[in-house]
Structure 1
Amino acid sequence: MNDPAPVLPIESPLLAAKAGNAARHGFFTRTGGVSANLYRGLNVGFGSKDERGHVAENRARVCRWFGVAPQRLATVHQVHSPDVVTVGEDHDGARRQADALVTATPELVIGVLTADCGPILFCDPQAGVAGAAHAGWKGALGGVLENTIAAMERLGAKRERIAACLGPSIGPQNYEVGPEFVERFVTADPDYERFFVPSDKPGHAMFDLPGLTTERLTKAGVAAENLDLCTYPDEERFFSYRRATHRGEPDYGRQMSAIMIRA
């Protein structure tokens, strides 16, 4: 199980500048993994039908990039909820049902998996608190971002010190939705209509999930950045659920976004 390409995550200029040496983070791509075929590259999703040994090795490679053992990686069983779990030194590898994690434990990597939904990494370097959230439309609308910030505050973070970055996710040019979808958002907040632009299909619209995500982060009082990387067209670097669905493929891989407070 050797891949000549190294694991090479994308880093956030905002998080790098704010955290300095206090934390390490990465939005991982497909590069550097051992999976093949539909899952080619660094597929870290145990929920996929990829060979379990390949997924385990890919996750171990993520951990090696951080310089920790595989047992120091914490993820959750994502269910498109607004729920957040706090993990610490007693983390036993269990993947609880939730869509975000926070920690104040050094050398513990917390990560979320995505394949179009938005991965958001958070850090308050002064408090030594980090967060990672998975926000598709349900999570973003349901409050997973705000809940992650609140959970970080319970660990001693202050929102005015928190930096947050949205990593690779599906962009508005590739996210077409139906009228009932638009209605759901406009009912929640009429102002959300501006995140939709009519598409070529009558009654349908293109949805700006990254725009909504970054606005909610900013309104929550944190410094926010969007890497503006769309997963759908970039097959070399990213897995995409919607791309796989449009092609009629039976399954898809997941990429990881993760952060660790340094000791």
Structure 2
Amino acid sequence: MTYRVRRVTTTRAGGVSAPPYDTFNLGDHVGDDPKAVAANRRRLAEATGLGADRVVWMNQVHSAHVEVVDGPRSKAFDKTDALVTAQPRLALAVVTADCVPVLMADARAGVVGAAHAGRVGAQNGIVLRTLEAMLELGARAADISVLLGPAVSGRNYEVPREMAADVEVALPGSVTVTAKGTPGLDLRAGIARQLKEFGVRAIDIDPRCTVDDAALFSHRRGAPTGRLASLIWLEPQR
């Protein structure tokens, strides 16, 4: 069996949520009407052609906890920030509004992973833990392709100098300078470097910055706000 990798990232458009979550908010923890979030998630599931029971969600907490998914489930994984699966046509979902959605796949082995990599999670190793879980399911680092989805860019991610230094120790390549000339973080650069050091060669980075792009949700630009969703799954090819 061979597989085709499908990756999807949403924008703000196309949903039913009212301001300030307008309109396609997919986060159920931000204060939006739960009925609106549920309707938006149904729309997304239908658009993928998978159905709501085949999209797996997490209650993300900036942890380094990874869950292996062996089939459809009706409830989100609690206190989890990454999912991996070897099941085809089972989409793994990450919600973000500045953090990095990390979508990984080994199409040859039939294994995918999705991680929510904010500053704390990335610093604590969530991406490598996801990679390790994929390898345990039969993936090979050299065969894995990665998409780092839309996130806050280094030019807009200002942090205290001490914080930047701490992240750099754990995630080398992350420190940068913002558009203001102040210390900043480019988490996608650090994650890409980390993955390359562990043998992953095919890494694409979505150029969009959530702060700059009004079509995307951004917590830093204006909270409260909604959440984007990034999904990954495998489609069998005969």
Q: TM-score, normalised by structure 1?
A: 0.83
1:225 to 185, 195, 204: 204
Residue in 2 aligned with 1:257? 230
Structure 2 equivalent of residue 76 of structure 1: 58
Task: Tell me if 1:240 matches 2:218.
Answer: yes
Structure 1 residue 143 displacement after superposition = 1.0
What's the secondary structure of 1:218's corresponding residue? helix
Identify the residue that residue 85 of structure 1 maps to in structure 2. 67
Query: How far off is 1:173 after superposition?
Result: 1.0
Structure 1, 26-35 or 156-165: larger mean CA deviation: 26-35
Q: CA deviation at 1:21?
A: 5.5
The 5 Å alignment of 1:1-263 reads 22-89=4-71, 91-188=73-170, 192=173, 195-197=175-177, 200=180, 204-222=182-200, 223-235=202-214, 237-244=215-222, 249=223, 251-263=224-236
Tell me, what secondary structure is at the counterpart of 1:105?
A: coil
Residues 145-172 of structure 1 deviation map (CA, whole Å, 9 limit, x = unaligned): 1111111111111111000010100001
Distance 1:256 1:170, change over 3 A: same
The share of aligned pairs that are identical, in percent, is: 38
Is the contact made by 1:73 and 1:93 (CA closer than 8 Å) also made in structure 2? no
CA contact (8 A) 1:76 1:112 kept: yes
| Secondary structure of the corresponding residue to residue 39 of structure 1 | coil
Tell me the matched-pair count: 234
Deviating 4+ runs (over 6 angstroms): none
Q: Is the 8 A contact 2:58 2:94 kept in 1?
A: yes
1:12-46, Cα deviation, whole Å (9 max, x unpaired): xxxxxxxx952322011112111121111210000
CA distance 1:69–1:217, shift in 2 (3 Å): same
Aligned-partner Cα distance in 2 for 1:94–1:75: 5
Q: Cα–Cα, structure 1 residues 49 and 162, in superposed 2: closer, same or farther, change >3 Å?
A: same
Structure-2 change in CA distance of 1:221 and 1:155 (3 Å): same
Q: Does the CA contact (< 8 Å) of 1:24 and 1:262 recur in 2?
A: yes
Counterparts in 2 of 1:200 and 1:30: CA distance versus 1, 3 Å: closer
Supply the distance in 2 between the matched residues of 1:253 and 1:242 (Cα, whole angstroms).
12
Letter in 1 for 2:212: P
Structure 1 unpaired stretches of 5+: 1-19
| Cα distance in 2 between the residues matched to 1:164 and 1:187 | 23
Greater share of residues in helix? 1
The 8 Å contact of residues 84 and 114 in structure 2, kept in 1 or not, is answered as: yes
Letter in 1 for 2:16: V
Partners of 1:186 and 1:44 lie apart in 2 by: 31
Instruction: Please report how far the alpha carbon of residue 259 of structure 1 lies from its aligned counterpart in structure 2 after TM superposition.
Output: 0.9
> Which deviates more, 101-110 or 81-90?
81-90
Partner Cα separation in structure 2 for residue 130 and residue 187 of structure 1? 28
One-letter amino acid matched to 1:207: L
Q: What is the RMSD of the two structures over their aligned residues, measured on CA atoms?
A: 1.9
| Offset of residue 120 of structure 1 | 1.0
